[in-house]
Amino acid sequence: MKRNIIYIVFASISLFLNACKTPEIVGKTENKNLPSSFGNVTSNSAIERVNWKDYFQDSFLNSLIDTALKNNQELNITRQEIEIAKNEVMARKGEYMPFVRYGGSAGLDKVPRYTNIGAMEANTEMKPGREMPDPLPDFGGGLYANWELDIWHKLRNARKAAMSRYLATTEARNFMITNLIAEIANSYYELLALDNQLVIVKQNIEIQSNALGIVNIQKEGSRVTELAVKKFEAEVFKTRSLQFDIQQNIIETENRLNFLVGRFPSPIPRNSSDFNTMVPQYMSTGLPSQLLANRPDIRQAELNLEAAKIDVQVARANFYPSLGISAALGLKAFNPIYLINPKSLLTSLSSDLVGPLINKNAITATYFNANASQIQSVYNYERTILNAYLEIVNQQAKITNLAQSYELKSKQVEALTASIGISNDLFKNARADYMEVLLTQRDALESRFELVETKKQQMNARVNIYRALGGGWN
């Protein structure tokens, strides 16, 4: 007999240890190593932390950004997501605290006579000479509590994971603010560029109309044919149609800005006359390692990775037994008048230790999924860092190349603008044909358009380097 008991004890211990055994998994550690510099550009200074109000010194642009930070619908949706994540932290915190509930009950019980309980009640007296009521009323009320002791820190770790995700949502909001400011600034500079292109088109229409007048006079003098007149007319019509295309683009860009600031269509105040003289000022890029602290999307990915690591610990704890305590304190009687009697007091206290033993497929799958999600979060974190680094390298190269391109395009515009007058004089003196005049005007128009486009790209690069370095949300 004693030997059998020992066998049973050893078998129980073996089953318990086997039940607590967790499957083998292969995790992944994130790589935080970054190059020492951005491409060929070396810097020993820190990344500038500049507020957007100081970085963008256009009062009209700053007014748009300020309005958008209050009214943008997508940003307000993200704020509510933060509240949801915050409430999730509260819920997880409550899970490892005791649950206490109150309740009351009333009922009526009719037990069959020819059963063990019916037979006992038929021969039981509540008091001498007073039989059990049939059917038997039942009234009660009290407090009920249950508490799962978090011996493996499963519930506390779940709260930590929820907290990390809550912090990640706040970083997502910061990243959205950065992108929102950049999108508004880029759209604003695009609007200024369109305004300047519209001015150029109107000026070119006037030049072409004057040339058309000259051609008409020369046709009357039989110096040119009807073909030249029609060519010049076609060029004027083409430029006028271009004017309406630009006007449509202006309307759409204005409404894109109105959407971003969360309002219905209204005029966008701006000063377009100084666009060509704007000189972009750029931030110091600092060291690549500083991106880990400055970029909200990197911090968001890092917090999500931290939450995924904790999820693996929570999933592992499901293989271990859980210890719960239940208690009740109340009153119970067949008649409400007896509820004030101390003999109606009901108390209970119990505990249970429960763990998985056979068929652990569900918790094993959860454990494997948590590990896969953790590996996925590592890749996402590394991808976010790589993307941030490449964005800065690209914008640095763009800033340098655009500065050289703008200088050369400025000289091209000067040369082609001067050639318009020269071609007109030559045409008047019959030393150049009308096609040379048309091509010169067309080339001059295109070069001025390209110059404005290059200036817009310069201003966009200024915005994008600010965003790439993590500015805007602070």
Kindly write down the DSSP assignment for every residue of 392-454, as one continuous string: HHHHHHHHHHHHHHHHHHHHHHHHHHHHHHHHHHHHHTTSS-HHHHHHHHHHHHHHHHHHHHH
pLDDT grade, residue 402 (50/70/90)?
A: very high
Q: Is the pLDDT of residue 5 over 60?
A: no
pLDDT at residue 454, as a whole number: 96
pLDDT at residue 162, as a whole number: 94
**The most confident of 26-30, 68-72, 396-400, 470-474, by mean pLDDT:** 68-72
What ranges do the domains of the chain cover? 23-96+150-320+361-468, 98-149+322-354
For residue 399, which of 464, 461, 456 has the smallest C-alpha distance? 461
- Residue-wise pLDDT for 174-205, tens only, equals 999 999 999 999 999 999 999 999 999 999 89
Q: What value does the mean pLDDT take over residues 324-350?
A: 88
Q: What value does the mean pLDDT take over residues 135-151?
A: 89
User: Which CA distances in Å does 217 have to 23, 53, 210, 431, 442?
Assistant: 94, 57, 11, 17, 22
Interatomic CA distance for residues 196 and 219, integer angstroms:
34
**The most confident of 213-227, 275-289, 358-372, by mean pLDDT:** 358-372
Among 68-72, 248-252, 324-328, 426-430, name the one with the lowest average pLDDT.
Answer: 426-430
Q: Is the pLDDT of residue 101 over 60?
A: yes
Among 45-54, 182-191, 388-397, 452-461, name the one with the lowest average pLDDT.
Answer: 45-54
Cβ contacts of 76 within 8 Å, gap of 6 or more = none
Topology given in CATH for the domain delimited by 23-96+150-320+361-468: Outer membrane efflux proteins (OEP) (1.20.1600)
Q: Is the pLDDT of residue 223 over 60?
A: yes
For residue 158, which of 324, 299, 313, 22 has the smallest C-alpha distance? 313
Question: Which residues lie across from 2 on neighbouring strands?
Answer: none
- Residue-wise pLDDT for 443-454, tens only, equals 989 999 999 999
Q: How many beta carbons lie within 10 A of that of residue 380, not counting itself? A: 16
Does residue 427 or residue 395 have the better pLDDT?
A: 395
Residue with tokens 């119990």: 350
Residues 38 and 288: beta-carbon distance below 8 Å: yes
Does residue 22 or residue 444 have the better pLDDT?
A: 444
**112 SS3 class:** coil
Backbone dihedral angles phi then psi of residue 430, each to the nearest 5 degrees: 60, 30
Residue with tokens 């377009």: 272
Q: Is the pLDDT of residue 382 over 70?
A: yes
pTM for this prediction: 0.85
Q: Is the pLDDT of residue 118 over 50?
A: yes
pLDDT grade, residue 373 (50/70/90)?
A: very high
Residue with tokens 């149609």: 241
pLDDT at residue 9, as a whole number: 44
Q: Which CATH architecture has domain 98-149+322-354?
A: Single Sheet (2.20)
- Residue-wise pLDDT for 58-86, tens only, equals 999 999 999 999 999 999 999 999 999 99
pLDDT at residue 4, as a whole number: 53
> What is the share, in percent, of the chain residues with pLDDT greater than 90?
53
> What is the share, in percent, of the chain residues with pLDDT greater than 70?
92
Q: Is the pLDDT of residue 237 over 80?
A: yes
* CB-based burial label for 144 (10 Å; 0-12, 13-18, 19+): middle
pLDDT grade, residue 46 (50/70/90)?
A: low
pLDDT at residue 360, as a whole number: 86
Alpha helices in 221-360 (DSSP H): 226-260, 291-294, 296-317
Backbone dihedral angles phi then psi of residue 21, each to the nearest 5 degrees: -70, 130
Give me the amino acid identity at 71.
N
Q: Is the pLDDT of residue 12 over 60?
A: no
pLDDT at residue 120, as a whole number: 76
pLDDT grade, residue 1 (50/70/90)?
A: low
For residue 173, which of 80, 262, 75 has the smallest C-alpha distance? 75
pLDDT at residue 450, as a whole number: 95
Backbone dihedral angles phi then psi of residue 426, each to the nearest 5 degrees: -65, -40
Does residue 23 or residue 313 have the better pLDDT?
A: 313
Q: Is the pLDDT of residue 326 over 90?
A: yes
**Average pLDDT of the chain?**
87
pLDDT at residue 3, as a whole number: 55
pLDDT grade, residue 335 (50/70/90)?
A: confident
